[in-house]
Chains A and B, each alone.
Chain A
Amino acid sequence: MSDRMEPYDASASEVQPQDGRGMRGGAVPNPGLPEHQLRPTDVDEGLEKRAERQIAAMFGLATILTIGFCVAYYTVPEDSTIFGWSGLNFALGVTLGSALLLIGIGAIQWAKKLMDDHEIVEMRHPSVSSEEDRRVALAALSAGAAESGIGRRPLIRNSLLGALGVLGLPAVVALTDLGPIGDTSKVASTVWRRGMRVVNDVSGVPIRPEQVVQGQLINGEPAVLVPTGDEERDEELGVLHGAELLAEKAKAAVILVRMRPEEITATEGRENWDVDGIVCYSKICTHVGCPISLYEQTTHNVLCPCHQSTFDLANGAEVIFGPATRPLPQLQLGLDDEGYLIAMGDFEAVVGASYPTMRQS
């Protein structure tokens, strides 16, 4: 059966190394390709016919399934469910997937069982061109260079290189307007102002101290960031919308926690920043800016769910574990005439992830 293979030339079988380094071993001479093995379908006509029928059946079934896909598309209702999944998605996925799979398996079976399976030997050629070709190519390159005079006229060459080099600048300069980099100071401040009410982050309802239960963590927002549902009132409050809302929300979100006053180790200069043991900190992690949400009331620790930086709310929200380096910024709380919790000003520290120029503002 080896009549179709190229004659094997044992003497040319190895690329000889130039310097004896890394010589290939080989305790015995290359025995050459093993003899071709006949498959059951090569010798048994019955098996051959059966394989043929099997493969054709796969292709036939694939056709039926593909038509099934089209039928399912129009007939299966979108709100049907099967095993809790979308019935339409299930029907489309199973028909299409099975059809594709059957076509694939059929083709592979065809190749494996019925197509001629003689291995062919093809010779490789080194990637490198002939010495002659390389010499001619180099000569052409030199001729081109010489005729242009690029070597003889350094003034032209260098000024051209300079001009082309500078051309990289507009490619960078023209991208400056991608963002307003002239004023990045906004990242250091939030919408919190003296007197702004702290509201529930979902309902937008202002919060009274007595509503804050010991051990409970409340997610708060400044009043201007939570639409109340009443458009007139929103306008009156100056509630923000769209991208501006999201950008401010990304900085101004806070968490409120009530602790027994004796548990709090107030940071120097912030002794009166709580209201009856209610402290307020930025919700935005100082690591990369995830919103913090996991509070453990026995330890007063909050944990960032993204990278597990842990902050001690009883002790100025100092970092006690994890990759964050700065404590969560604290918001000074007060009460307005109606008895609602208000901010006494903006955060004093930068909210969220650190950035190189953060200490310069």
Chain B
Amino acid sequence: MTDSPSTAGSTASTSTAPPRRNPAAGPVRWLDERLGLAGLAKKNLRKVFPDHWSFMLGEIALYSFVILLLTGVFLSLWFDPSMSEVAYDGVYAPLNGIEMSRAYESTLYISFEVRGGLLMRQIHHWAALLFMVAMTVHMLRVFFTGAYRKPRELNWTIGVGLFTVGLLAGFTGYSLPDDLLSGTGLRFVDGLIRSIPVVGVYLEFLVFGGEYPGDAIIPRLYIAHVLLIPGLLVGLISVHMLLLVFQKHTQWPGPGRTERNVVGYPILPVYAAKAGGFFFVVFGVTALLGGLFTINPIWNYGPYNPAEVTAGSQPDWYMGWVEGAVRIMPAWEFELFGLTWSMNVFIPAVLLLGLLTMVLAMYPFVERWVTKDEREHHLLQRPRDTPVRTALGVAGMTFYGLCWVGGGNDIIATQFRLDIYAITWFLRFAVFIGPVIAFIITKRICIALQRHDQERVLHGYETGVITRSVDGGYAERHAPIPQEEVYTLTSRDKVSVAAIESGTDENGVESPHRRSAQVHARASRFWHGDQVNPVTDDQLHDENHDSHAELESADDRFRGVSETGIPKDH
């Protein structure tokens, strides 16, 4: 290794000036002689990351996690995860003398007597909400752009794992203060565990160390919240990021951007400055939220008392859809083999959560089976270009959203003066019908947008200039769109539906794979049906194409008059 600065980047050498002494050479040599990292650094210091606003969503999730670690360590210095009872004797007068757990008391202490404690608690809670929001939206971005396709299926699955563990992190966290609201959440979980077939009550006793609420659950949740779950998250995030670096980030298609390259800014310096700066922005925003907006004012709720509850009890937003599913599930419980099966709780709370995770984790593999697409993909797809995937995604979002509405049915009833039973009955049907309607509408919108793209390529854009022909007819002039846009709009996969085979060979012998081939062909037709193929070279240059009359003189600059009478140059 020489001291020349030109070795810093493999793709761009900044200067061809003669070698001069690089001040970093000494320390770098010292480290390299011990760690041998120059080879790795050489490749990665100038690694290219493509730029797009939607690629920041995952960053927000990562940064919120770092903020959670920092503020969480601060909180753990004072928080006492104990359920032993003490009488409150602190500065918050309304609760003076009231019996409460050490967990609740120490949370009050952090909020009122540790300077900056309330700020850290509120930053921690805001960052937790942001963490889940960012993960969810990041996942939607990856889904709707097809970024999970080969070779990134495994990273998608890891992402689903992060999302699930994130839910647990949030739940275990907001249960710790042992206030009335978090205790109500725990009671719900108690009922949920009880509903698990056959082993319900035994599992309840194992989790709570005996009867609910007992005195073991807060210390157990605490160790899960500060050790097990963060450990798991750190591990999964590391693999997630390593795979991202190894596989390189996806990019949007466009001129010069292909499946074989990646176009963007190098980590050093632009990406480091932007991403590092963005960390501070996220931290700054959560700190301002923590300073200006109260969140989870546990002193208003009072200590947990299993005989009390407040109206309008709501979990944090990411649990709201499970809560809603539990609310709108009809009463269904039966006896079988001498056991009680509480489907009214088990299906919406346990099964649905498991189902969501499974469906999400399996999705890339199901899609690959339908498309039989074995290629690597590094260019993203616009949501409109995969109408069925987009429609499935929106259908899923509709289901999730309706469940979420169910989680707030009491608030909606009081705010809008509606009948709560009517809302519940509406949702019982809407969660099934809504996604179907959303699927159909979304698919049609996507196809309409595809047709619109096709029209732009073939007929150009509307100039707004009306011309009158010699025979008195009026027509709007169209002008062709730039070649770069034509390329962007047309360089996508052609639709290829698997043919439905007859199932017999030329001798009339039935193929052993007939059934599965037919199932696959149907799935393929469902997937690709009604899509619009990208415009081809032939179509664009078809001399007989009637649309070309409009475009004939489009390459020349022409003067016209717009509908407002103002002369216009084109």
B424: which A residues are within 8 A, CB to CB?
Answer: 308, 321-322
User: Nearest CB to that of B348 among chain A residues?
Assistant: A323
B339 touching A21, Cβ below 8 Å: no
B190 touching A27, Cβ below 8 Å: no
Instruction: Give Cα A34–Cα B485 distance, bound, in whole angstroms.
Output: 11
**Nearest chain B CB to A9's CB is how many angstroms away?**
9
B212: which A residues are within 8 A, CB to CB?
Answer: 247, 250, 289
Partner of B191, one of A89, A91, A119, A288: A288
B369 on the interface (CB 8 Å rule)?
no
B439 on the interface (CB 8 Å rule)?
no
Within 8 A of B (CB), among A259-292: 283, 287-291
A293 touching B344, Cβ below 8 Å: no
Q: Which of A322, A324, A326 has the most CB of B within 10 A?
A: A322
Stretch of A95-103, A140-148, A156-164, A205-213 at the chain-chain interface: A95-103
Instruction: Give Cα A105–Cα B291 distance, bound, in whole angstroms.
Output: 19
A54 on the interface (CB 8 Å rule)?
no
Interface residue tally of chain B, by bracket?
35 or more
A360 on the interface (CB 8 Å rule)?
yes
B127 on the interface (CB 8 Å rule)?
no
A78 touching B540, Cβ below 8 Å: no
Within 8 A of A (CB), among B184-212: 184, 187-188, 190-192, 194-202, 204-212
Q: Which of B84, B371, B490 has the most CB of A within 10 A?
A: B490
B292: which A residues are within 8 A, CB to CB?
Answer: 85, 90, 93-94
B359 on the interface (CB 8 Å rule)?
no
Contact with B along A126-141 (1 / 0, CB 8 A): 1100000000000000
User: Nearest CB to that of A248 among chain B residues?
Assistant: B211
Instruction: Give Cα A28–Cα B292 distance, bound, in whole angstroms.
Output: 54
Main secondary structure of the interface of B (DSSP, over half): mixed
A246: which B residues are within 8 A, CB to CB?
Answer: 213-214, 304-306
A93: which B residues are within 8 A, CB to CB?
Answer: 119, 122-123, 287-288, 290-292
B410 touching A305, Cβ below 8 Å: yes
A121 on the interface (CB 8 Å rule)?
yes
A357: which B residues are within 8 A, CB to CB?
Answer: 200-201, 339-340
Interface residue tally of chain A, by bracket?
35 or more
Stretch of A39-47, A110-118, A231-239, A331-339 at the chain-chain interface: A110-118
B115 touching A73, Cβ below 8 Å: yes
B308 touching A25, Cβ below 8 Å: no
Q: Take A33-B256, A307-B326 as given contacts and tell me if A181 and B12 are in contact as well, using a CB distance cutoff of 8 Å.
A: no
**Nearest chain B CB to A326's CB is how many angstroms away?**
8
**Nearest chain A CB to B29's CB is how many angstroms away?**
27
**Nearest chain A CB to B305's CB is how many angstroms away?**
7
User: Nearest CB to that of A29 among chain B residues?
Assistant: B487
B486 touching A27, Cβ below 8 Å: yes
Within 8 A of A (CB), among B485-506: 486-487, 490-494, 496
User: Nearest CB to that of B112 among chain A residues?
Assistant: A78
Partner of A122, one of B261, B289, B493: B261
B306 touching A325, Cβ below 8 Å: no
Q: When A and B form their complex, which 10 residue pairs have the shortest distance between CB atoms, in order from nearest?
A: A93-B291, A288-B191, A107-B277, A101-B284, A104-B280, A33-B256, A25-B534, A97-B287, A100-B284, A97-B288
